[in-house]
Each structure stands twice: as structure tokens, then as C-alpha cells.
Structure 1
Amino acid sequence: MRTIIKWEFSHLHPATQMTKVNMPGQRPPLSELLAHHRLLQGLPPEVALHLCLDAQTMQANAGQILFNEGDEARYCLLVDSGQVEILRYSQNGDERVFNVFEPGQMVAEAAMFMPHGRYPMCARAKGAARVYKLSRSSLQEACRRWPELAMNMMAGLSSALYAQVNKVDWISASSAAERLANYLLNLQARQGENIQLPLNQRQLAAHLGIRAETLSRLFTDWQARGYVSGKRSDWQVHDQAHLRRLASPAQRSF
């Protein structure tokens, strides 16, 4: 029986240095993380090993930019630890955070197939983070060799597009209270009873398409009424029924 050795690649040396990482007590190697990713579900292990060939690791500090909007899109990211936020800056310098990626999630895979070959947003470490950089060329070659991977990517990108269409429709037709209720309920479904806001209140207001003053008034009013409690980024929902009534128009049958 053939033994397959799993490798991780360090970003510290231009001439890629291979180091064995399947020692006891260490993090799972990249090939193992990839094998459990939704894009590779049901695919042969050779796909993950192919993506590992020229991969690199990067340990980022809080606030470190991983790539800028307009940079050449040479790699996508797989988050190993910490969080990575995707954002854009307006002409007056204000920033808008579009998403926060958790460990096990892939960042900017769609940019690997964009005709202009550039990143459409910035990526920044939210706190200390460790990521794997998967090259554009390896991902494209894997899609050509294993069409099932390309189909999985199309399904994922289609789901993301559908979610964005629903979000635009929801924001254009909903009130500030309805948007906040839906956001908090979705966070609670993922995180449990204690909610940790991944965005500060200014960023959250921009994400929901409302004024920061409106968001602050909503939190203050809901606390006074006993719907929620908390401060800064730590919150709890006490009246789910009320928030569900507010958020009900956002729920779709498919």
C-alpha cells in the first residue's frame, strides 16, 4: 500500500521549502483542511494534493492587508485560524466591510476566474490570523482536470449570487428594524445564545444600509424594551418572537 505524505509550504522562503506537518499536536495540514472543504466533497484526494503543490502559508497580524483592491489576483485564501474581512473604501475614505470569513472558509476564489484578473475588494486580517495562499494557476488547472470541482464552484458561486439578489431586494424593501432583527437572528442561529458581532457598530450600520445613529437608537430602544441586552460586540436576544415577526418578510421558501 502506498503511503501519502502530507506537506505544508512556508511563505518565508522564495524557494519553496517543504516541511512535514503531520506531527502530533500540530495543526491539520493543508491537504486535510481542503479535503473537508465543501468544494472538494466527493472528489478524489488527488485534488487536494494538487492544490497543495505551490501553496504558501501566511501568519498575519491584526489589521494586516492580505491583498488590496486592484491587485493582481494571483491567489485565493483558505482561513486556517482567526478571521479575514473583505472590504472596500469609498472615495471619501470610508470603509465598508462586506463579509467576515471564519476558519475553514475560502476567500476570493471567484477572483481567480475574473477576466480582468484583479481583486475586486481588499482582504484584511481581523485580529491575528493564519491563512493558506492557493495559487490561481493551480486552482484553474484543478478545475480543468476535475470537472466536478468546477461544478462545485459554480454551485457555490450561484448560491452566493442568489443570496446577494435576495439581500438587495430585502434592503430596498425593509425597514432598519427589520434588517437588524434578521441580522441578529442569523448570527444567533450560527453562534448560539451569546452573540459576538463580527463588525463594529459603524461597520454594521453600513452593512445594513442604515445610519449609525439609527442603529444606536435601535439597540438602545430594544434594550429598554427587553428585546436584547448587551454592549459593544457582545449581545443576547431575549425576545426571539418579536424579532422573528420583524424578520419574517426576509424568509424565503427556497
Structure 2
Amino acid sequence: MPDALVQPFYEVPGRIVSLHKNEYLFHEGGAAKYFYFVHSGQIRISKSADSGRVLSLRLAHQGSVIGELPLYQKRRVYIFDAIAKTAAEVYAIEYPVLEHSLEEHPQLAVNMLKIMAKHMRKQHHKFRDLLLYGKKGAVYSTLIRMANSYGREEDGGVLIPLEMTNQELADYSAMSRESLNRLLSEMKRDGIIAYRGSFIFLRDMAYLRQEVRCESCGAEDCIIE
């Protein structure tokens, strides 16, 4: 079930949209018609450069909002790509309908402010890690966020049960796959990570947290969403 902040938005007129794995919800540059709440599944939000490089920004899940930037804009355009990482469902509300509801229902507007504030804190911490700690710090913080979002503690470490290629992990960390492969090899050699099948197992979570100064932010903001 959606959390308490999101649940009231399901009373605003909208519709459920179902997505298959690897199906696009929208493309960068496309006309923006809907504000979305993720109802189930995972949706990757990414930005493409002219060079063909991809930067994955978020892995949205149940309760996440998508398409927030065109809200209250005269010219509504999506500035990111949104693609289903798994089979997913979203609740779609047309922008004019949502804007009218926010203006008519103050508590709904307060909920939206709280949702946006949480979202901004998460993005702030992500960009802080990338700017202050470089490519290595970006990989460390990405692994920490994935562990906080989906990890399972076992054998003194944390297993991240996410099906993810090295290219996808590189896209979340703003680096090339070749550079990521070298770094992962070093981390495995140093006993920081291991592999269990296709999943990454964090053997030394404390080391990763120390390297990116995790004590300065709350775990609720340090997630991959």
C-alpha cells in the first residue's frame, strides 16, 4: 500500500497504467501530460547525453513520484527518460487535474510539499557524493543506496538482490563500464565486496560508509529512489 503522504492522491481522478519490463513510460523531450505515482514495480529515471552516455538518476519504486518538474509549467516537456526495470504499474493524473486538486485541497498541497522536500533531500545527497568524492565515491554511495533500499543482511554483510549489469551500475555512478569493472575488481580483491551468483554482496559496509561520510545524512534519505 502507498504511504500516508501518497495515499490521498489516489482519490484524485486518474488511471492505472501497466508497463511491461523494459517498456518506456515516457521519453526525454516528449510532451508531458501526466504526473505519475509508482504503484508497483521499479522504474529507472535516466538522462542521455549527445555522446550516447547515460546517467541513471533514480530507481523509482512504490510511492515514488515521477514527472514532477513539468508541474505548473506552461510548456510541459519531460526532461528525462522513464523505463520500467521490472513489470510495473503507475497511477497517472493529468497535470491540470492535479494542479486544480492541489489548489482546492490544502492538505493535499501540504502532502505534495513534503513529498517534494524528501525528494530534494535525496537528490542533494546524491550529487554531494558525486561532486565531493569523485567516481569512486559515486560507486560507493550507489552501492550503499541500493543496500539501504533493497539489501538483506546475512553472514555479517549485506546482499543486494537486484538484477543489474555492470553497465547499469556504471550508469548510476556516472562512469564508464571499463572504469567500473576495474574498481569492482579492486574492491573484490580488497575484501570489500563479493559475488553471490549475479548479486553483489557487501562484505564491508562500514568501510563504504566511512569513505563517503555517511554519518552526515539519515538512512531514510540515502536510498536509490
TM-score band by shorter chain is 0.7 to 0.9
Does the 8 Å contact 1:84/1:125 carry over to 2? yes
RMSD: 2.6
User: Structure 1 residues 84, 202: CA separation in 2 closer, same or farther (over 3 Å shift)?
Assistant: same
The verdict on how the C-alpha distance between 1:195 and 1:152 changes in structure 2, with shifts beyond 3 A counting, is same
Q: How many Å separate the matches in 2 of 1:114 and 1:158?
A: 19
The number of equivalent residue pairs is 212
- The alpha carbon displacement at 1:205 in A equals 2.1
Question: Shift in Å at residue 197 of structure 1?
Answer: 4.3
* Aligned counterpart, 1:246: 211
1:38 and 2:5 aligned: yes
Q: Find 1:230's aligned residue among 172, 189, 195.
A: 195
Report whether the alignment pairs 1:208 with 2:173: yes
Deviation at residue 39 of structure 1 after TM alignment:
4.0
- CA deviation map 1:196-226 (0-9, x unaligned): 3465322322332333222111211221222
CA 1:233–1:143: 2 relative to 1, 3 Å: farther
Partners of 1:199 and 1:219 in 2: CA distance: 14
1:1-254 paired onto structure 2 within 5 Å: 33=1, 36-39=3-6, 48-49=10-11, 51=12, 53=13, 55-191=14-150, 192-193=152-153, 194-197=159-162, 199-230=164-195, 234-248=199-213, 250-252=214-216
Q: 1:87 to 1:241 in 2, by over 3 A?
A: closer
Q: Equivalent residue of 1:104, what SS?
A: coil
Runs of 4+ in 1 over 4 A off after TM superposition: none
3-state SS, counterpart of residue 133 of structure 1: strand
Give the Å deviation of 1:133: 1.5
Amino acid in the other structure paired with 1:213 = E
Higher RCO (CA 8 Å, separation ≥ 6 residues) = 2
Residues in 2 aligned to 1:184 and 1:253: alpha-carbon distance in whole angstroms: 16
Mapped contact 2:6–2:63 kept (Cα < 8 A): no
State the 1:75 CA deviation: 0.9
Q: How many angstroms apart in 1 are the aligned matches of 2:87 and 2:110?
A: 33
1:34-88 CA distances to partner (integer Å, 9 max, x unpaired)? 6x44245xxxx6x642x1x3x2222222221211222222112222222111122
Deviation, structure 1 residue 127: 2.8
Q: Which amino acid aligns with 1:252?
A: S
Task: Name which of structure 1's ranges 197-206 and 74-83 shifts more when overlaid on structure 2.
Answer: 197-206
Higher Rg: 1
Q: Is the 8 A contact 2:129 2:137 kept in 1?
A: no
Distance 1:189 1:57, change over 3 A: closer
Task: Give the distance between the partners of 2:137 and 2:54, measured in 1 at CA.
Answer: 24
SS in 2 for 1:73: coil
Structure 2, unpaired ranges of 5+: 154-158, 219-225
Name the % identity.
22
